[in-house]
Amino acid sequence: MSKGGEKRRSSKLGWWLSFCVVYADIGTSIFYVPGILFLTIGSLATMAQVLTTGVFILIARKYVEIATRCPDGGGVVSIAHKAFPTRKMLPLLGGSLITIDYFLTSAISGVSGFAYLQSLFGFNHDLIVPMTLCALALLLVLNIVGLKESASVNAVFAATKLVVSAILVVMSTVVVSSMDGWAALFDQVLHPTMPGGQELTASALVIGYADTWLAYSGLESGAQISSAMAHPIKRTASIATWMVIAAISILSPLLTAYAIFMLSGKLQAVPAEQVQQVAESFMSALAFEVGGVVMQTLVVISASTLLIMACNTAMVGNYHVNARLVGDGYLPGLLGRRSKRFGTPVISIALSAIVPMFVVLGTRGEVSDLGDLYSFGLLGALTLSSVSIDWLHWKDKARGPKLYAGMATSLALLLAWGINIVNKPASLFFGGSLTLLFMGLGFGVQRGYFARLAERFPMFGPLLVEQTVARSDDSRVLTLTEAEDLSALYPVGTIVAVREASPSLLRAAADWANKQGERAVCVLYVEEVPGLFYPPKLGPSEEASRVLSESVRQLEARDVKGIPVWRMSHDAADSVAGAARNLKAKLVLVGVSRRSTLWKVLRGHVVRGLKKHLPDGVELRIVP
């Protein structure tokens, strides 16, 4: 098999990489949820997680079905649209809720990451907020350029975190055994109290139940990456999900129990402010307690890196959800408008970073307050996803235990969401305001208000009414499959990969085609999409259409037919190599790269990638 073929075979996420991607997202909750639960419901945190595990398994299995039913990704937006095709605002509601979830994921992951670093290095706690803001600003810039996420990198960090967590569990078990503390630990779990020894109140129990669901945030990522999963998607998603279920269901309650058992007694003698700070980095304190500075360092490194990665993944997921909503006609095209230079949706990326910045400032970086805000979008998205699957089962006339268990899951989630809405006014205000804003924008787009506004203010017209999906119907641009079908009439031996309509590059392609007696040349423009998500229904950008049209015009002026082909890919080199293989080309022409060093670092070196992935027998020629 050629190198290109090997690359193509590995380009889809198998069950191991799918597990790592989802676990890298959902697994970060272990670092901040135990502390939040401890402050809310004390030592009941362990039992609460154990009791909700059953519902967690049921909703996780529903997300496997979502990934299977929506193979192009989209999560709650896609499944709500599939379940309620005539209810146009429900997919927008789902997109609004998951957007809020992503905003809070970025905020809480960033703050928690620096809280763990503070627990090890001991810098001023007040620096956590400005450091988080700087990190979000840096991620904003990197994502505008196009930060290329790698499933392999996610796999390494997720596996490292899994190993470190397992070691922490083993060391904690040894310490509890050595101090003969099993009886005390079980008594604490079975007879829980609040921090400071106070009895649990009914109100604390109810609020604690809703807060427990924070431990399972991140499930949506499994449905979002379904477009990148290896086929059959159901098998890949199912294996990955069961691995996630096993890891979270075992590690999270055990680490929570050990942390509370080891630390609660000592925390009774310290000021409330210090208790709050320790709770922000609970696993760091547990690691120091059972393994000293060495174990604490391992935990802090794995926690901070994974949390910052989760912060970025949430930003990427957020602007891809916005792109889907724009493409489906739910949000103004302005939010999906992409940079001509970088091809990334600048405005959507900016919102994905700036809103979490304001959230961090508004909460002063308090993890417990961020957790309170987090619940609204998380529980709302989980509830809508669960109800959508139940409705699909009902329409399919699938009666029986599966339907009834699903309905019970939906009721449990709805109850948790209702508790959150009633008991956390800040969460309701923040989440409700953003939801109303998104729904208002969607209503305006559906009713054509933005189009009429554009008529009154023509200078804003292209920004307000442009819909990304409209460009996908551009008859001047072909997909690779269409180009393959056309190859019987116009055989292609040469591919010229373009980022701009370079006269020297196109002249070289035309001269070579005429010399070889070829009637046509494939002009290939690769729209690079950073990250692991592919936004569905995303067509050629204005820049891609312009470059391809101008390139074809220049070739035809030299009596060579240009076949304009547009592709979307995370990796431009791999995409060009795949086109060369499918079209059976013999020569690939590229221009001298004008990409900056930063661009090459973030998005890859195309020429180097082509040399590595082009099929055997295909020549690569670089035109000055």
Which pLDDT value is given to residue 499?
81
Nearest-angstrom CA–CA distance, 378 and 380: 5
Span of 324-328, 412-416, 426-430, 509-513 with lowest mean pLDDT: 324-328
Which pLDDT value is given to residue 10?
41
* Mean pLDDT computed over 347-366: 91
Directed axis angle between helix 606-613 and helix 572-583, to 10°? Answer: 40
Looking at the predicted structure, is the pLDDT value of residue 151 above 70? no
Which pLDDT value is given to residue 200?
66
Span of 66-70, 598-602, 609-613 with lowest mean pLDDT: 598-602
CATH code assigned to 12-444: 1.20.1740.10
Which pLDDT value is given to residue 111?
93
Nearest-angstrom CA–CA distance, 613 and 616: 9
Say what the pTM is: 0.77
Looking at the predicted structure, is the pLDDT value of residue 397 above 90? no
Residue with tokens 């999560």: 75
423 contact partners, CB below 8 Å, separation of at least 6: 203, 206, 207, 210
Q: Can you read off the two tokens belonging to residue 371?
A: 């957790």
Over residues 222-264, the pLDDT tens digits come to 888 887 788 888 899 899 889 989 998 899 899 999 998 888 8
**Confidence class of residue 440 from pLDDT cuts 50, 70 and 90?**
confident
Residue with tokens 């000055």: 624
Which pLDDT value is given to residue 545?
83
CB 77 within 8 A of CB 98: yes
* Mean pLDDT computed over 479-499: 77
451 contact partners, CB below 8 Å, separation of at least 6: 464, 465
CB 514 within 8 A of CB 560: yes
103 contact partners, CB below 8 Å, separation of at least 6: 314, 318, 352, 355, 356, 359, 377, 434
CB 92 within 8 A of CB 381: no
Q: Which residue has the higher pLDDT, 200 or 137?
A: 137
Q: Can you read off the two tokens belonging to residue 178?
A: 């050595």
Nearest-angstrom CA–CA distance, 435 and 561: 50
Nearest-angstrom CA–CA distance, 22 and 43: 28
Span of 32-46, 97-111, 404-418 with lowest mean pLDDT: 32-46
- Read off φ and ψ for residue 468, nearest 5 degrees: -55, -40
Looking at the predicted structure, is the pLDDT value of residue 433 above 70? yes
Report the half-sphere exposure of 525 (CA within 13 A, side-chain side).
28
Looking at the predicted structure, is the pLDDT value of residue 325 above 60? yes
* Mean pLDDT computed over 47-72: 87
Span of 42-46, 285-289, 474-478 with lowest mean pLDDT: 474-478
Looking at the predicted structure, is the pLDDT value of residue 621 above 80? yes
Span of 296-300, 305-309, 371-375 with lowest mean pLDDT: 371-375
Q: Is 384 helix (H, G, I), strand (E, B) or coil?
A: helix
To the nearest 10°, report the CA torsion of 506, 508, 511, 513.
-70
Buried b (16+ CB within 10 A) or exposed e, 111-124: bbbbbbbbbbeeee
User: Which residues make up the CATH 1.20.1740.10 domain(s) of the chain?
Assistant: 12-444
**Confidence class of residue 218 from pLDDT cuts 50, 70 and 90?**
confident
Instruction: Give the chain's radius of gyration (CA, Å).
Output: 26
Which pLDDT value is given to residue 539?
66
* Mean pLDDT computed over 171-199: 81
Q: How many CB atoms lie within 10 A of CB 83?
A: 22
Hey, which CATH number is domain 472-623, 3.30.1330.200, 3.40.50.2000, 1.10.1240.10, 3.40.50.620?
Answer: 3.40.50.620
Looking at the predicted structure, is the pLDDT value of residue 295 above 70? yes
* Mean pLDDT computed over 37-58: 84
* Mean pLDDT computed over 415-420: 88
Average pLDDT taken over every residue of the chain = 81
Over residues 497-527, the pLDDT tens digits come to 888 888 888 888 888 888 888 888 888 888 7
Q: How many CB atoms lie within 10 A of CB 290?
A: 21
DSSP assignment of 172-210 equals HHHHHHHTT-HHHHHHHHHS---TTSPPPPHHHHHHHHH
* Mean pLDDT computed over 82-102: 87
Which pLDDT value is given to residue 150?
59
Q: Can you read off the two tokens belonging to residue 223?
A: 């449905």
Of these ranges, 315-324, 331-340, 428-437, 443-452, the one predicted with the greatest mean pLDDT is 428-437
Q: Can you read off the two tokens belonging to residue 586?
A: 């013999």
